[in-house]
Structure 1
Amino acid sequence: MMIGITGTPGTGKSTIAGILESRGHMVVRAGETVGPFVLGDDPARDTKIVDEEAWAAAFTPVDGFVEGHLAHLLPCDRVVVLRCRPDVLETRLVARGYAGAKVRENAEAEALDVILVETLETFERDRVLEIDTTTVPPNEAADLITGFAAGTVPPSSGSFDWSAYLLEGL
């Protein structure tokens, strides 16, 4: 069974994937598999342009976890969407050295549920688990993910509304 772990940058995907790895689970870092599908750079958005459809079509499914902000584009059996309150996400991204425009773009994407919406456009709700990493520590999130993979943690999505973040500062 392939479980995708996705979310906006800064929501804890890599940290939680590291915990899962330390517990003996197979984890594929999606970012390490896109190289042949990078079409170029988008300097205005400080990101790489990936042929997402070709990457997803060529991806060989694994029995384990696939971590990355594009993991929800893969043919997963289940998907975990990590979420984080936008103001906390901003703090995390600033600490990583992200430029102001990139911080704001990601915080707005989180407030608009962009990755959750993309996930639910492909996967039925009974195959999706949403976790708020603002309040759930990484070890507990890893426990929830392994429980979801085992079928002991029920699916859940659409629980967070951070749209008010978009009105701040107006």
Structure 2
Amino acid sequence: MMTGITGTPGTGKTAVAAELERRGHRIVHLADTVRPYVVEEDRARQTLVVDVDRWVEEFEPVEGIVEGHLAHLLPCDRVVVLRCRPDVLAARLAPRGYPAEKIAENRDAEALDVILIETLEEHPDEHILEVDTTALSVGECADRIEEFIRGELPSSYGSIDWTDHLGFGT
């Protein structure tokens, strides 16, 4: 079974994946797999433009967990969408040295549910779990993901509404 962990940058994907790996899960970091599919590198925005269609088509499914903000585009058996309140997300991204425009873009994408909507377009409802990482520890997030993988935690999404955090005009 291949489980995807996805979310906007700053939601905790890498930290949670590291905890799951420490617990014995096989983890594939998608950032390690996209380099051959990069068609452009936008250094000003610190963004790689990837030929996603080719990458998805050529990706070899794995038994384990795939982690990255494109994981929901793969043919995963289950997908976990990590979420984070937009103001907290922006605070997490600031120390990474991202330009203010990129932080605002990610904050607004999180408030608009962009990754969740893309996930819903690709996967059956009963295979999706949304986890708000804002106030949870990495261990608590990993616990929920393990429960979901084992089928002990049902699919759940759509209860998060951060539209009041949209930063338009700021």
TM-score by length of 2: 0.96
1:27 Cα deviation from its structure 2 partner: 0.3
Alignment partners' CA distance in 1, 2:116 and 2:137: 20
Partner of 1:101: 101
Alignment partners' CA distance in 2, 1:18 and 1:167: 31
Question: Paired residues, what number?
Answer: 170
1:142 Cα deviation from its structure 2 partner: 0.3
Partner of 1:8: 8
Contact 2:108–2:167, Cα closer than 8 Å, also in 1:
no
* Amino acid aligned to 1:36: P
Write out aligned runs for 1:110-149 (5 A).
110-149=110-149
- 1:106 is paired with a residue whose SS is helix
Alignment partners' CA distance in 2, 1:36 and 1:80: 26
Contact 2:104–2:167, Cα closer than 8 Å, also in 1:
no
Change in 2 beyond 3 A, CA 1:39/1:168: closer
Flag as ranges the 4+ runs of structure 1 deviating above 4 A. 167-170
* Amino acid aligned to 2:156: S
Partner of 1:46: 46
- 2:62 is paired with a residue whose SS is coil
Q: Which moved more, 1:45-54 or 1:113-122?
A: 45-54
- 1:60 is paired with a residue whose SS is coil
Partner of 2:57: 57
Alignment partners' CA distance in 2, 1:167 and 1:106: 10
TM-score by length of 1: 0.96
Alignment partners' CA distance in 1, 2:47 and 2:21: 27
Per-residue deviation, residues 28-87 of structure 1 (Å, max 9, x unmatched): 000100011000113453311100010011111111000000000101000000000000
Contact 2:6–2:79, Cα closer than 8 Å, also in 1:
yes
Quote the RMSD (CA, aligned, Å): 1.3
1:136 Cα deviation from its structure 2 partner: 1.6
Alignment partners' CA distance in 1, 2:14 and 2:46: 20
